[in-house]
Structure 1
Amino acid sequence: MRKKTEARRQSFVQAAGRLFIEQGFGSVTMEAIAAEAGASKVTLYSYFPGKEALFEAFVVEAGKGGHEALVAAKDEMDPQASLMRVGMSYLELVTRPDVVAISRLIIGEAERQPQLSRIFYENGARHTLLSICSVLGNLMDRGLLRRTEVRKTGLQFKALCAAELVERQLWGLDAVPDIRLREAAVRDAIEVFLPAHLP
């Protein structure tokens, strides 16, 4: 029996991701994924029990590094600098082309494949929100932000940062926003958010 390798596993995840985005989750077969990765179906099944496990791995891969960058905003001593860092990390994550493609896929498949929404939420969106909340909670614990219900506050800050920027990209109206546009969006968000949440 051949030894499992991370490179082979990644080849299956990437092949599945490409096919899911191009053809939709329901249309893709395990056989097609194996062929796309240049392997046998037997080898594919030795790594993944089915398409849902592959989709989960694809979501996790798309978010790699993003959550760590969000939480790193705790290192900032100043609340404005911390919010700027977490806002920029958030926008950098959610405007990645592969993350946008997954979001579009979820919207298109939500009615036919509701389990995909759950997988995406648990392995992507939920982790993102928890990371933002951990930074805001840290600021509250240090007395730099007013104590509020942290999940609600995290959702508000996230929405202010995304504003029209993420929607327009999701709808295909705009390309990936450059750093200048992302910085402007986060500055605008902080301008609204910070006065309402200072102690």
Structure 2
Amino acid sequence: MDAEILEQETGRRQDGGAKRRQIMDGARTVFLSAGFDGASMNDIARAAGVSKGTLYAYFTSKDELFEAIIRAEYAQSAERLCTFRREGDPRTMLTDFGVRLMRRMAEPSHMSLARVVIAAVEKFPNVGRTFYEAGPLFGATRLAAELRALEAAGALKLPDPERAAWHFVDLCLSYVYKRLLFGVVESLSPGEIEDAVESGVEVFFRAYGA
């Protein structure tokens, strides 16, 4: 009997997880097409194929739903992106990280989400904080830990590892990311990404190399 109850409970959790993903998928489509301000819970329920009552059973507000999408977006790629490959010398490791970071940030889905957040943040600052904590802050914190390890190995000299991590990311983004963010260009080629990162790594080691 206990096994039957456990199996039923597991099934309910799985069904609940599937329904939650269904809602988030529908909401993501609406947010990216209408923007945060233009999206309504009615539109989201319709796009997700659920009743409004079901929608509110999972998410109490549009803000909560959007924050969940942001966190899920970054959770899917955080482990892959922030797993540092330690083969080769420090320059190779940081170049590899920088290229993977830039490729991720240049993905159309990420760019669209970033633009929605920028448009919403003035009225809904919590949306911006969620985006910052789940993405840029998480990545910089993980990178700072790796930079400390490189300093301990004698490859870097870092007065402030956290600030150095932010410097590294900004150097990799260079001007190419802003051109993409603001629609000056539609996409970045692999060569443009690699050139930006390699230049950033060169400047970084001139500043922090031991």
Is TM more than 0.5 here? Answer: yes
Instruction: Determine what percentage of the aligned residue pairs are the same residue.
Output: 29
Tell me if structure 2 keeps the 8 A contact 1:62–1:98.
Answer: no
Structure 2 counterpart of 1:117: 128
Cα displacement (A) at 1:153: 0.4
Unaligned ranges ≥5, structure 1: none
Higher relative CO (CA 8 A, sep ≥ 6), structure 1 or 2?
Answer: 1
Q: Describe the SS at the equivalent of 1:15.
A: helix
How many aligned residue pairs are there?
199
Q: Alignment partner for residue 102 of structure 1, among 106, 109, 113?
A: 113
Which residue type is aligned with residue 112 of structure 1?
Answer: K
Between 125-134 and 3-12, report the one with greater CA deviation: 3-12
| Distance in 1 (alpha carbons) for counterparts of 2:201 and 2:177 | 17
Instruction: Decide whether the 8 Å contact of 1:13 with 1:58 is kept in 2.
Output: yes
1:65–1:77 CA distance, 2 compared to 1 (3 A): farther
With normalisation by structure 1, the TM-score equals: 0.90
The Cα shift of 1:43 comes to 1.7
Match of 1:136 in 2: 147
Match of 1:63 in 2: 74
Highest Rg: 1 or 2? 2
Q: Which runs of 5+ in 2 are unaligned?
A: 1-11
CA contact (8 A) 1:63 1:93 kept: no
Match of 1:28 in 2: 39
Distance 1:11 1:182 in 2: 34
Q: Tell me, what secondary structure is at the counterpart of 1:90?
A: helix
Q: Distance in 2 between matches of 1:189 and 1:66?
A: 23
Equivalent in the alignment of 2:197: 186
Residue 156 of structure 1 and its aligned partner are, at CA, apart by 0.7
> Cα RMSD between the aligned structures?
2.0
Shift of residue 34, structure 1, vs aligned partner: 1.0
Deviations 1:54-106 (A, max 9, x none): 11221123224432234322523511111111111211221121221122112
- For residues 37 and 81 of structure 1, do their structure 2 counterparts lie closer, same or farther at Cα, with a shift above 3 Å needed? same
Alignment partner for residue 186 of structure 2, among 143, 158, 175? Answer: 175
2:44 alignment partner AA: I
For residue 152 of structure 1, report the CA deviation from its aligned partner: 0.7
